[in-house]
Chains A and B, each alone.
Chain A
Amino acid sequence: MKRDPGLYDYLPYDKRPKIEWPGGARLAFWVAPNIEFYELEPPKNPTRISWPRPAPDVPGYSYRDYGNRAGFWRMMEAMERCGVRGSVSLNVAVCDHHPEVIKACVERGWEFYSHGTYNTRYTFNMSEEQERALIQDSIDTIKKHTGQRLDGWLAPALSYTENTLDLVAEMGLTYVCDLFHDDQPGPVKVKKGRLTSIPYSLEMNDAISFTVNWVSPRHYGDIIRRQFDRLYAEGAESGTVMCIPLHPYLIGQPYRMKAFEEALAYIAGHDKVWLATGREIAKHFNESYYDAFAKASLPVGEAP
C-alpha cells in the first residue's frame, strides 16, 4: 500500500494562473446525474457487501429501481425547464436494461461518461487486465448505444485500485471525477496520457446530503445556493467549477423536487454562468490551462 496516492502536485488556491471560461463566465456549472443499476443479487465481493440486508434486500433494491421507473423522468423535466443538460455518470449496463432512459438523454444532447458497469460491481482488488476489460466495456457500450466517445470516469461505487487513474488515462479518457481536493480543474499525474481532474462534489451530492448528512430537502436547496453564491463571487478572480451530482432515486422523489428545481433555476438565472458538461469543461481546461497549471505547481514533499 502507498502512503500517498501521488496523483497531484501542490498549487495554492490564491496563486494560480487565472482561468477564463467561455463568454466571460465566472463559473462553469455542470449537473451529473448518476444513472445506475444495482443488481438484486450481485456476486459476492471480498471487500464490500452490496446490500446491508440478506438477499433479497427489498427496500434497498426497490429504492434504487425507483430512480429509473419514476425519479429520472421528473429530474429530467426539471433540468430541461432550467435549460441544464446532464453529464450522465452511467452504469453502462443501463444501456441494456433500460434503453428508453438512454434514448431520452441522447435526444436532449446530454453527455455520457462512465460509472462502471453496475453499481454493485466493485473495482477493488481487480487485476490490471480485469480493470482494462471493465474500462473497455464502458468505451464500447457507450459508443454503441450513444455514438459518443468516452471521455470521463467516475469509478463504480467509488471503488478503485492503485492503477485506476493510470489505466483510464492510457485508454484515452480525458477527465476523472474521483478526486475531491479542489474547486478548479487540475492535472492528474498519470503514467501515460493527459488526465484532468474535474471538480465533482460529495458535499453537493444528493446521496451524501440526504443519506449520510441527513439534510432535509429544503435545506438542500439552501446549501446549493450558498455553495453557488460563494463560488460565483470567487469566480470574478479566476473561474471556478460547481457540480451537482444527482441520483434519480433520491432527487426524483416528489417531496425533494421543488426545492431542488428552485435552486437550479436560481443558478441558471445568473448571466455569468457557463452551463457546461464535464467533457466541455475538461476540453477547455486541457487546451488552455493544463500546461500552465502543471508548470505553476509545487512539488509535494515527502511525509516524514
Chain B
Amino acid sequence: MISDDYLKYPRRRYGMDHDRYEWSMLHAREKIAWPNGARIALWVTAALQWFPLDQQGKPFKPLGSLQTAYPDLRHYTLRDYGNRVGVYRIMKALDKHGIKAGVPVNAAVAARYPSLVKECVARGWELIGHGLDMDHLHYEGMEGEQALIAKSLGTLRGFGKVRGWLSPAKSESHKTLDLLAAEGIDYVCDWVNDDMPYAMRAGGKTIHAMPHSADVDDATILIGMHHDEDELRDQLIDQFDLLYEESATQGGRIMSVPLHSWVIGHPYRIGTLETVLSHIMRHKGVWPATGAEILDAWQGGRVKGS
C-alpha cells in the first residue's frame, strides 16, 4: 500500500527542489573570457589517496575500495602504488607541457608521505582538501564531521594554502558545504551538474561548485566501466574537441581531466595521458590552470552584455 501523501509534491515549483543553488541554464549565461583570450581552461587533477587496511565501508565502499577478507594486502598495495610510483609518472607527463595539477590529497597521505606533498607544492601544484582517507566518508548522520574536516584541512594546510575540496567519493552530508565554507574553502568538486563554476549557498556564505567531471575520470572509465585505454583516450579527446568547438560561440569552457595516480599511473596507461595532453596542447587558446586560478578568472572574467 502507498500512502496518499506519496502523490503530494510540496517542492513542485519553479527552479530546484532545494535551496542550495539556483536553477540556471548553461547556454543562457554570460560568456566567460579566460586570460589572454584562451578558449579552454585545462584543469588537470591527480588525486593522492589512501585506502586503510582496516576498512569499515561506512556508509558504503567507494570505487577502488578493498575487496577481500582482512587483510587485503592485494588492493591496499595496488592503491598505494599510486603514491609511490604512479604520481611521479603523472608529474613527468605534465612537466612536458608545463601543466600544474590540482592535487586532492587525503590528509593521511600528507601525514604518511610528507615528502610527496612537499614535492607537489614545490612544483606549483594546488593542494585540494580530500578528507582524511578513502574510508572516512562524509554522510548524513555521521558523528564529528566538523572535527574531521578541521583535522583533514589542518594537516594539509601544514603544507600550503588550501582553497578547494573534493569529498572522498564525492559524498556529502547536508552540512558538509556549510562546514567547508566556515573553514574558508572557496570551492568544492563534488557536484557534477555543470560544465562551468556556479555559486552555492553554504550557511550564510558562498561556496562554488567547480565542474570536476565524474564522467571522463580515469577510474570511472577504466575501473567502473571496464573500458580500455584507447576508449579512455577517445573519450577525453572527444570531450575536448566538443568543448573547444563550443567555446568559439559560447565563451570560455573548462576541460576537466580528473586522474587517480593509482589508475593512470601504470606503465601501460601513462602513454594514454601523454597522447591526450599532446592533442589538447596542440590547440591554440588552451590555458592550463589550477582550480583556484580558474575560479578567480571566472569571477573576474564575465563578459558584459553577452
Query: Which residues does A use to contact B, with CB under 8 Å?
Result: 37, 39-41, 43, 45-46, 52-56, 58-59, 61-66, 68-70, 73, 93, 96-100, 117-118, 121, 125-127, 130, 133-134, 137, 214, 216-218, 253-259
Contact = CB atoms under 8 A, between A and B. Distances in A.
A73 B140 contact: no
Contacts, number: 140
Contacts of B241: 258
A63 B214 contact: yes
A66 B23 CA distance: 11
Interface string B174-199: 10000000000000001111110000
A56 B140 contact: yes
B9 A117 contact: yes
Contacts of A254: 195, 238-239, 242-243, 246
Interface of B: 1-2, 4-7, 9, 11-18, 23-28, 59-60, 139-141, 167, 170-174, 190-195, 214-216, 225-227, 231, 234-236, 238-239, 241-243, 246
A211 to B, nearest CB: 9
A98 B195 CA distance: 19
The 9 closest A-B pairs by CB, nearest first: A255-B239, A65-B193, A62-B193, A254-B242, A70-B26, A214-B225, A62-B191, A216-B231, A255-B238
A183 B52 CA distance: 52
Give chain B's interface secondary structure class: loop
A216 B232 CA distance: 9
A73 to B, nearest CB: 5
B26 to A, nearest CB: 4
B298 to A, nearest CB: 16
Given A54-B139, A125-B1, A216-B234, A59 B214 contact: yes
14 contacts: A40-B18, A58-B191, A59-B192, A93-B9, A97-B12, A126-B6, A130-B4, A133-B7, A214-B225, A216-B225, A216-B227, A216-B234, A255-B242, A258-B242
Contacts of A121: 6-7
A43 B6 contact: yes
Contacts of B227: 214, 216
B7 A130 contact: yes
B248 to A, nearest CB: 14
Given A55-B140, A56-B172, A257-B242, A62 B192 contact: yes
Contacts of B234: 216-218
Nearest to A100: B25
Query: Counting chain A CB atoms within 10 Å of each CB, which of B216, B234, B238, B241 scores highest?
Result: B238
A128 to B, nearest CB: 12
B5 A43 contact: yes
A41 B140 CA distance: 12
